[in-house]
Amino acid sequence: MIRIILSFVIAFLLVSCGETNSPRLGLSDEDTSTQKTVGTWILSTSSYDDVTVDPNYILGNLANRGITHIDQLVSFELLADNSYRIANEDRLVEFITMAIDEGIRVNLLINDKDFMYKANYEESMSKIETLMDFNNNLIETQAINLLGIKLRVDLERSKGWAMNQHDAVYNYLYFLFQVDQLLAREKSKLLLSVDVDDAWDSGDYALSFNTKDKNFTYHIIDIVDYITVLSFSRSAGAVMEKIDGELEYLRDEQLANRIVPSLAVSPLSNANDSFYGLADTTRFWMTLNELQGLVADDIRVPMIMIDSFDYFDQIPPVPAY
Task: Identify the pLDDT of residue 318.
Answer: 84
Reported as a single tens digit per residue, the pLDDT across 261-307 is: 999 999 999 999 999 999 898 999 999 999 999 999 999 999 999 99
Which pTM does this prediction carry? 0.91
Show the CA angle centred on residue 190, arms to residues 189 and 192, nearest 5°. 130
Residue 62 has a CB neighbour count (10 Å cut-off) of 23
Question: Do 76 and 108 form a contact (C-beta atoms < 8 A)?
Answer: no
- Of 131, 19, 105, which is closest to residue 305 (Cα–Cα)? 105
- Which domains are delineated in the chain? 2-17+36-311 (3.20.20.80)
Rounded to 5 degrees, what are φ and ψ at 226? -165, 160
Rounded to 5 degrees, what are φ and ψ at 208? -95, 130
The kind and range of the H/E element at 237 are helix 236-242
Q: Is the dihedral angle over the CA atoms 42, 233, 262, 22 positive or is it negative? A: negative
Reported as a single tens digit per residue, the pLDDT across 142-180 is: 999 999 999 999 999 999 999 999 999 999 999 999 999
Spans in the chain with pLDDT lower than 70: 1-26, 28-33, 320-321
Task: Identify the pLDDT of residue 32.
Answer: 45
Non-local CB neighbours of 269 within 8 Å, separated by 6+ positions: none
Task: Identify the pLDDT of residue 23.
Answer: 56
